[in-house]
């Protein structure tokens, strides 16, 4: 009986894996194929806005602007979805990486936004080395830092502290902000794809960032989580295996 059960579990797991892979391939091809028509919509809307503005009354101009805004949102959505499904399919080469170097590269990429928002960023170095793949590691940092910059309290400068702590062969990386915070009942669901706690008008975004962070960490044998309360800032953590000696 045990053997039969074991066999059935293996068959179900294989079937589930296959349907998951099919689903991911489907998401990839839909988001990829949507980009062509979307480019056309954006292109012609731009022509209407830039070359025909004088022929359009104010209502028509408003419609054109709205089409543009929606097309831009759809563009981010398809791009983020592509990034997410690429992450599921990519081969990872896990190697010893210095977290500090990856983080510096990400901070440099985000420097314009950091300066524009006058964000206070404190990185406690040295940060430990981890066993990871550089692209998904940088994607994790980019998403967590961008969120800290985005979800700051209105009229306050974003503030973010980053540090690392080693424990039992793992490295915990912590990202603590002083932003709007997250009520405990939402801590789990924000890591699921498309789960957002605000409308895109309040805070722009697609709801894919944290799902990508979770998937990237899990694919590198790590985990993620958050400690937070509403109005009291958030502390996101990512745990990854420590680099080999």
91, 198, 212 from 219: Cα distances, Å? 10, 28, 10
Map residues 81-110 to x or -, x wherever contact with ligand ADP holds by CB under 6 A: ------------------------------
Q: Which of residues 15-44 bind ligand ADP (CB under 6 A)?
A: none
Distance CA 166, CA 168 (A): 7
Q: Does 209 bind ligand ADP (CB under 6 A)?
A: yes
Decide the pairing of beta strands 120-123 and 129-132. unpaired
- Map residue 124 onto helix, strand or coil: coil
Q: Does 127 bind ligand ADP (CB under 6 A)?
A: no
Using CB under 6 A, pick the residue from 137, 190, 220, 238 that binds ligand ADP. 190
- Map residue 184 onto helix, strand or coil: helix
Of the two residues 127 and 211, which places its CB atom closer to ligand ADP in the complex?
211
Decide the pairing of beta strands 95-98 and 129-132. antiparallel
38, 44, 46, 48, 130 from 53: Cα distances, Å? 21, 13, 10, 7, 54
Using CB under 6 A, pick the residue from 97, 127, 180, 240 that binds ligand ADP. 180
Distance CA 211, CA 192 (A): 5
Of the two residues 48 and 226, which places its CB atom closer to ligand ADP in the complex?
226
Q: Does 216 bind ligand ADP (CB under 6 A)?
A: no
Using CB under 6 A, pick the residue from 32, 69, 157, 198 that binds ligand ADP. 198
Using CB under 6 A, pick the residue from 182, 216, 220, 238 that binds ligand ADP. 182
Which positions lie near ligand ADP, rule CB under 6 A? 143, 147-148, 151, 177, 179-182, 190, 195-198, 205-211, 234
């Amino acid at each position: 009986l045990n053997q039969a059960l074991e066999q059935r579990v293996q068959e179900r797991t294989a079937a589930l894996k296959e349907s998951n892979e099919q689903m991911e391939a489907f998401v990839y091809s839909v988001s990829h194929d949507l980009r062509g028509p979307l480019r056309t919509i954006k292109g012609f809307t731009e022509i209407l806005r830039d070359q025909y503005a004088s022929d359009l009354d104010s209502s028509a101009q408003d419609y054109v602007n709205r089409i543009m805004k929606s097309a831009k949102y759809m563009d981010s959505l398809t791009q983020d979805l592509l990034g997410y499904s690429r992450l599921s399919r990519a081969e990872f080469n896990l190697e010893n990486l210095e977290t500090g170097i990856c983080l510096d590269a990400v901070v440099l990429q985000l420097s314009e936004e950091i300066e524009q928002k006058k964000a206070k960023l404190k990185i406690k170095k040295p940060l430990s080395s981890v066993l990871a793949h550089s692209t998904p590691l940088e994607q994790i940092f980019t998403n967590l830092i961008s969120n800290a910059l985005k979800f700051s309290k209105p009229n306050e400068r974003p503030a973010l502290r980053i540090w690392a702590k080693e424990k039992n062969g793992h490295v915990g990386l912590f990202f603590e902000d002083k932003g709007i915070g997250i009520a405990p009942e939402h801590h789990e669901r924000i890591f699921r794809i498309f789960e957002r706690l605000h409308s895109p008008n309040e805070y722009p975004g697609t709801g894919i960032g944290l799902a990508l962070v979770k998937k990237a960490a899990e694919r590198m044998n790590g985990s993620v989580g958050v400690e937070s309360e509403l109005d009291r800032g958030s502390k996101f953590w990512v745990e990854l295996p420590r680099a080999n000696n």
